[in-house]
Amino acid sequence: MAADPPFALRLSQVSKVFGGVRALDDIAFEVRVGEVHCLAGENGCGKSTLIKIVTGVHAPEPGARMEVFGETVARMTPDAARRAGIAVIWQDLALFPEMTVAENIAIETLMGRGPRLVSHARLHGTARAALGRLGVELDLEARLRTLPIAERQIVAIARALVQDARLIFMDEPTASLTQSETDSLLAIVRTLAARGVAVVFVSHRLAEVLDICERVTVLRDGRLVGVYPTQGMTPARLTELMTGRTFDSVVAARDMAGACPVLEVRGLSRNGEFEDIDLVVRAGEVVGLTGLIGAGRTELGHALFGMTRPDRGTIRIEGRDVAFRSNRDAIAAGVAYVSEDRLALGLIQPQSIADNTVMSVLRRITGPAGLISGRAKRDLVEGWIRDLSIKLGLPEDPVATLSGGNQQRVVLAKWLATQPRLLILDSPTVGVDVGARAGIFRIVRRLAEQGLAILMISDEVPEVHQNADRVLHMAQGRILGEYDPRRTPLPALEEAVYG
């Protein structure tokens, strides 16, 4: 029997206290050379704190033991971590949008020395070699901002390889990717592992965790729940380990055919994006819209919210034809849109939770003198915090201090405050952990029961199958099929979408 690979990282007795709050309590963690290992847990369980201890950002409490590639480390620093071959690819990637692909990948070779002329040939050679190790080709002269998020992820991984990374932490690497993009990224992760790179994978997408990882370490409330082989593990069991709770996976679909239409779309087309779209969303109904990359789902959502204009076709809201010139027209007509990009388009991160909540209804809380009524603002914010069970410190805290699930609830509060009749949810659970996802869908179901029409866009087929009343499959800009989750098993729906 072959011996197990050596350890890339071994931690024991790791604790961390912030202001009297014990973020980590006696944690042990290990990953082997060439292993893809999952670090799992809900937001706030201590995953990020543990990663920052490994990379020297935080110092653990006295008594912690750390061993990196067989060498005991008395005190880790960011520079020491980098020299040891430890790299982290955070969810925001920390890249430079105005720089080229080659410059982003090879920037490490330009740092730490005095002023000198830059050799673009050397930059290109370094970048090309790193991409070659991943089996990928990219335009080295392209500005990073022009690349889709999936290719930016590849740039971040290639940059880590230039730094001679032997242990890479990947924080939610697929949170903003479609299924096909995710498959490509997972293939790259397997390539890294096959070449001896240890990868610690942090993701809320449990199916892909079980697909790519050999073992999973589960944290809950700063404590170690256990280390488990992924073979034989199910998403439901992993969810239970992460949260200490079980969740109802029963299909929630209802027959809403008799309800009054809120949104009616006929022959809607926008050249190069979607073609001849017909759909209806009724009061109190949740309609799921799913499909692969390039299907045109988000582009359709933009047109329904007035962010772009269709070339042909009609949109009718509660029996009245509308032609939105902007999203302001859509809001006035009772349409709300929760973007798939919560960080860039949904919230203003440095501003307070309260300010983010009321930004869509400032006129409603502004008095005759043009000043915002403090009491009206406070009542509105406190009402939504209560109704959506938003967990926070103070409403005046920056919204960036909240977990992903609670940030998404603030986005919902911002749009629900406009009192919409139609709510468009575009990928509502991106970057949200499994426990928070269940809470968001409970809110969605409650809103539907109160009569709100909801169009839910998602590339995660199990989500729409479980939570929608009807599911529409979109591909290459057209709607190809409609499915009733009560009569269509999940495998059949996945085969229709992915097959």
Regions of the chain short of the pLDDT cut 50: none
Length of the chain counted residue by residue = 499
What's at 315, amino acid-wise? Answer: I
Structure tokens at 286: 């949740």
Share of the chain above pLDDT 90, in %: 51
The fold of the 261-498 domain, in CATH, is Rossmann fold (3.40.50)
For residues 174 and 153, give the distance between their C-alpha atoms in angstroms, rounded to a whole number: 9
The H or E element that residue 267 is part of is strand 261-270
Q: Which CATH number fits domain 7-243: 3.30.565.10, 1.10.10.10, 3.60.20.30, 3.40.50.300?
A: 3.40.50.300
pLDDT given for residue 235 in this prediction:
83
Helices (H), 163-234: 179-194, 206-212
CA 253 to chain centre: 25
Residue 227 CB coordination number (10 Å): 14
CA distances, 27 to each of 47, 51, 209, 242 (Å): 11, 12, 21, 15
pTM: 0.65
CA distances, 143 to each of 97, 117, 129, 246, 381 (Å): 7, 21, 19, 45, 40
What's at 468, amino acid-wise? Answer: A
Tell me how many helices (H) and strands (E) the chain has.
16, 20
The answer to whether the Cα torsion of 16, 64, 85, 224 is positive or negative is: negative
Give me the residue spans of the domains in the chain. 7-243, 261-498
DSSP string, 421-452: SEEEEESTTTT--HHHHHHHHHHHHHHHHTT-
pLDDT given for residue 113 in this prediction:
60
Taking a C-beta distance cutoff of 8 angstroms, is the pair 414, 356 a contact?
yes
For residues 191 and 193, give the distance between their C-alpha atoms in angstroms, rounded to a whole number: 5
CA 139 to chain centre: 26
Fold match between domain 7-243 and domain 261-498: yes
Strand 286-290 with 453-457, pairing: parallel
CA distances, 211 to each of 45, 189, 274, 292 (Å): 23, 12, 33, 19
Q: Look at residues 302, 310, 323, 330 and name the one whose alpha carbon lies nearest to residue 421.
A: 330
pLDDT given for residue 329 in this prediction:
96
The H or E element that residue 147 is part of is none
Taking a C-beta distance cutoff of 8 angstroms, is the pair 280, 261 a contact?
yes
